[in-house]
């Protein structure tokens, strides 16, 4: 029986033999480039690339914290201190004279708005039975608010009518710019030695008495509080000041 023969047609490539390996290599390169293009296209946003800001540490301006900016020295008298007629120096210590308004301006202004004032004081004598006071303050100037901290209605030892006591309080100057959650409180320094510390940071001041945080107040109108000069004021008492130091915060 005749066997039917199936015709097989061989397609002859018109590409020369020496081009075939090169063509295959080019093909692979094209495929790889296509995949690389697709991969990079899927991960690259079509719009502008937003740059993420790296966190930065706040830059401290002024002297390093803890630097002693000023330390009073009364070993050679009160020379250099302003409006000092109502004060005198005995044995290297500062004393008010017990007048109605014994005010003294410290001859120094802090170069930084963040600073601490530490004062060691003692009431050594009461000129009246009640109504004496002492305070530490800076004055309001232009757009910069001042502050005041101190004790009022000081009372000499003895009976006290209706349980009344001296009061401690701090204010922003002018008082209309002040904001605080603290209220005036009973505080009697008696005739003991005390350490007062005023910590001024930006628009706020914290007051410490013998290491205890007793009052804080901040300004609603001023970014910074006055750097000085600081004033010491006493009324109807003899106030002894044994140490006065200003440090950077």
Q: CA–CA separation, 110 vs 114, rounded Å?
A: 9
Count of alpha carbons within 13 Å of 209, Cβ hemisphere only?
21
Q: Are 228 and 144 in contact (CB under 8 A)?
A: no
Residue stretches of the chain with pLDDT short of 70: 1-61, 83
Q: Are 200 and 216 in contact (CB under 8 A)?
A: no
Give the count of beta carbons closer than 10 Å to the beta carbon of residue 44: 8
* pTM score, whole prediction: 0.75
Q: Facing residues of 133 across strands?
A: 235
Q: Which residue has the tokens 């410290």?
A: 106
Angle (nearest 5°) at CA 232 between 226 and 233: 120
What token pair was written down for 68?
A: 């002693």
Please report the pLDDT score of residue 171 as a whole number. Answer: 96
């Amino acid at each position: 029986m005749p066997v039917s023969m199936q015709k097989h047609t061989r397609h002859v490539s018109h590409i020369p033999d020496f081009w075939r390996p090169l063509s295959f290599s080019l093909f692979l390169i094209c495929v790889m480039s296509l995949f690389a293009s697709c991969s990079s296209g899927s991960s690259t946003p079509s719009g502008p690339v937003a740059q993420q800001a790296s966190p930065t540490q706040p830059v401290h301006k002024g002297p390093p914290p803890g630097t002693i900016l000023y330390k009073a020295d009364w070993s050679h008298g009160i020379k250099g201190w302003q409006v000092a007629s109502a004060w005198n120096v005995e044995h290297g210590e500062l004393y008010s004279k017990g007048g109605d308004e014994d005010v003294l301006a410290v001859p120094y202004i802090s170069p930084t708005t963040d600073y601490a004032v530490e004062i060691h004081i003692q009431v050594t004598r009461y000129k009246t039975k009640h109504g004496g006071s002492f305070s530490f303050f800076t004055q309001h100037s232009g757009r910069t608010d001042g502050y005041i901290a101190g004790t009022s209605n000081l009372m000499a030892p003895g009976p006290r009518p209706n349980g009344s006591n001296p009061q401690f309080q701090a204010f922003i100057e002018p008082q209309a710019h002040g904001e605080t959650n603290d209220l005036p409180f009973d505080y009697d320094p008696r005739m003991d030695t005390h350490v007062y510390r005023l910590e001024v940071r930006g628009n706020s001041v914290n007051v410490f008495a013998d290491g205890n945080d007793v009052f804080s107040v901040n300004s609603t109108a001023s970014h910074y509080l006055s750097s000085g000069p600081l004033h010491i004021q006493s009324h109807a008492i003899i106030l002894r000041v044994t140490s006065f130091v200003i440090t950077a915060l």
